[in-house]
Amino acid sequence: MSTQGSPYTPGPPPRRGDHAAKGGNSLRRTSDTFECWMRRVLMVVLVLGLPAAAVSAGLAAYEAAKHTVRTQAAERHQVTARLTSTAGGGDWVKRPAPVRWTDLNGDVRTGAALVKPGTPKGSTVRVWVNRDGQVTDPPTTRLNATTSGWLVGGMAAFGVGAGSCAVGAGIRLVLDRRRYAQWDAEWDLVEPGWSARFRP
């Protein structure tokens, strides 16, 4: 069979990559190149920025929480108080009951502490008080600081990941709209010529 007039070049097929080396993909648009580079940039942000943001935010939150732990531990201490009346309530939920104790200066203090319902009058309970002698919540523990650091770090990592995905999706949406507009404009130019070929 003669190869004269054949659109194919005789001989062995070109090696893989020869066409790309000569001039690249002729169908590749500028928007395709831009999208490819943006994907690479976003990938770098994910690989480098995500762990950096998570670690820095987590450490910052941990240090802030640890400072709060030290401050509260220095300002609060426990005392032994006695109930001045029987705690009311019939369920298992702890309820505030009046208590009384004597501080380090010998002054009698009163306040309210959460105790189990039905605790009899005169029972001793341990309560946390501040420097002013007022009943307060227990100080934050180191476990709370660690948990806070992990939580904030995880939220920062999720934010960077979600932000990168949102940016990528937004860029793709804008590019697709531009591509569709270009296709419509080019089809408006080509369509009359194509339609005329099939008219009787």
Q: Block means of pLDDT (10 residues each) for the chain, length 200 residues?
A: 48 53 64 84 88 93 93 90 82 84 86 86 90 87 92 94 90 87 82 68
For residues 113 and 99, the answer to whether their CB atoms sit within 8 Å is yes
* pLDDT of res. 6: 46
38 closest CA partner among 174, 132, 178: 174
Residue 195: the pLDDT is 72
DSSP-assigned beta bridge partners for residue 95? 115
pLDDT of residue 199: 61
Sequence-distant (≥ 6) Cβ neighbours of residue 14 within 8 angstroms: none
Strand partners, 78: 128
| Per-residue model confidence (pLDDT) at position 23 | 52
Write the CB contacts of 143 (distance below 8 Å, at least 6 apart in sequence). none
Task: Please give the structure tokens belonging to residue 148.
Answer: 């806070």
Note the pLDDT of residue 59: 95
Model pLDDT, residue 13: 55
Q: How many residues does the chain have?
A: 200
Integer Cα distance of 165 and 158 in angstroms: 10
pLDDT the model gives residue 200: 59
